[in-house]
Amino acid sequence: MQRLLREWRWQRLRTTLAQLKLLVLDVDGVLTDGGLWLDQEGRLQKRFDVRDGLGLRLLQQAEIQLAFLSGGLGGATEVRAGQLDIQHCLVGIKDKPSALEALQERLGVTAQQTIYLGDDLNDLAVRSQVNLLISPRDGCKPLRRQADAVLNQRGGHGAVRELAERILKAHGAWSQLEQKGWRDNNA
Classify residue 110: in a domain, yes or no. no
Classify residue 14: in a domain, yes or no. no
User: pLDDT tens across 77-126, in order?
Assistant: 999 999 999 999 999 999 999 999 999 999 999 999 999 999 999 999 99
Answer whether 0.85 is exceeded by the pTM: yes
Classify residue 51: in a domain, yes or no. yes
Q: Do residues 153 and 165 lie in contact, with contact meaning Cβ atoms separated by under 8 Å? A: no
Classify residue 169: in a domain, yes or no. no
| Residue span of the structural domain in which 56 resides | 22-62
Classify residue 53: in a domain, yes or no. yes
Please choose, from the candidates 16, 122, 7, 118, the residue with its C-alpha nearest in 3D space to the C-alpha of residue 68. 118
Q: Do residues 132 and 16 lie in contact, with contact meaning Cβ atoms separated by under 8 Å? A: yes
Classify residue 42: in a domain, yes or no. yes
- Rounded distance between C-alpha atoms, residue 7 and residue 149, angstroms: 9
Q: How many domains does the chain have?
A: 1
Query: Quick check: 67 pLDDT over 90?
Result: yes
User: pLDDT tens across 12-64, in order?
Assistant: 788 889 999 999 999 999 999 998 888 888 888 899 999 999 999 999 999 99
- Rounded distance between C-alpha atoms, residue 167 and residue 94, angstroms: 28
Residue type, 143: L
Classify residue 38: in a domain, yes or no. yes
- Rounded distance between C-alpha atoms, residue 4 and residue 177, angstroms: 25
Query: Quick check: 152 pLDDT over 70?
Result: yes
Classify residue 36: in a domain, yes or no. yes
